[in-house]
Structure 1
Amino acid sequence: MNNLVYCPRCNKLFARHFREVCNNCHQELEKDYERCIEYLRKNKGLTIQQLSEDTEISIKQITRWIREGRISLMDAPNMTYPCEVCGTLIRESNMCDACRGRLQKDMKNAQAQASSAIREFRSAGTGFQIKDKDRN
């Protein structure tokens, strides 16, 4: 199995086993994480934008740590992160309520359309079953 890939951060070739980035970038990310956590402990009322600006760590990376459970929002009342679909700021899950509702509605509609198409196909009599193959 070939696990040689280019690191998305520094573009160096590395053997990917457990991480998405090379060892050097992983160590840099861990240092950034520690700096971020320490800053957040001292400044509990920050928003994600303020934390990003003050620590020079991207909102995307901070959001990743929140979703991984490495940063808790329990003691950070003003901390929110963007919905993966529309970017609305949220405090839990990966989608806002509006996007989740739209997704559920779209899934329900797609399921209804699929069921309808199956019923039409069956009622047209154009389908066959495996047992019918032996009869011809």
Structure 2
Amino acid sequence: MAELANCPKCNALFMRGPATVCKDCVKREEEEFQTVYAFVRQRQNRTATVEDIVRGTGVEEHKIREFVRSKRLHPAQFPSLSYGCEKCGADIREGRLCSNCTEEIQNGIQQQDQLNDIQERNKKKDLGNATYYSMKRDKR
């Protein structure tokens, strides 16, 4: 069910449902997308970088990168478009992380798995070497 909320972009009241921003902001974003798309579809602009598109259209850089991230603009069709890695900010064309950050995370996971294996072996080893003593109880 829809609830009353403030638009995070313009602070206007709207009924929040599937959309997370008001209708005016959705319309404005769609107009910006159409402006960017019309610009990059021109033959001379197909290899334009994000900075070139910002200069040519006046649309903010983060919005253009969001269009690429959300696959509204495909890097396969426009080879100079990219967006930032979520960890380090390096330019990437697909996914959420660059190859360096992905590799770093995978190495960290492998190291943690190795440490867990060593700890398990040590626990089993310690349990195998346990010494049990019996106590003699005197009955009086």
Letter in 2 for 1:21: V
Aligned-partner Cα distance in 1 for 2:113–2:61: 36
How big is each residue's C-alpha offset from its partner over 1:67-112, in whole Å with a ceiling of 9 and x where there is no partner? 2211111222222222121111122222110011111122333444
2:96 counterpart residue number: 94
Aligned residues: CA RMSD: 2.4
Letter in 1 for 2:109: M
Query: Are 1:20 and 2:27 counterparts?
Result: no
Letter in 2 for 1:38: A
SS at match of 2:111: helix
Letter in 2 for 1:88: A
How big is each residue's C-alpha offset from its partner over 1:38-92, in whole Å with a ceiling of 9 and x where there is no partner? 0011110100121123222222211222122111112222222221211111222
Aligned-partner Cα distance in 1 for 2:5–2:107: 39
Aligned-partner Cα distance in 2 for 1:118–1:24: 58
Larger Cα-atom Rg: 2
TM-score, normalised to structure 1's length? Answer: 0.76
Within-5 A mapping of 1:1-136:
3-42=3-42, 43-113=45-115
Structure 1 unaligned runs (5+)?
126-136
Q: 1:122 to 1:22 in 2, by over 3 A?
A: farther
Structure 2 unaligned runs (5+)?
128-140
2:138 counterpart residue number: none
Question: Percent of aligned positions with the same letter in both sequences?
Answer: 26
Tell me if the contact between 2:85 and 2:98 (Cα under 8 Å) persists in the aligned partners. Answer: yes
Tell which deviates more after alignment, 26-35 or 108-117. 108-117
Aligned-partner Cα distance in 1 for 2:125–2:15: 55
CA shift for structure 1 position 37: 0.3
SS at match of 1:14: strand
Letter in 1 for 2:90: T
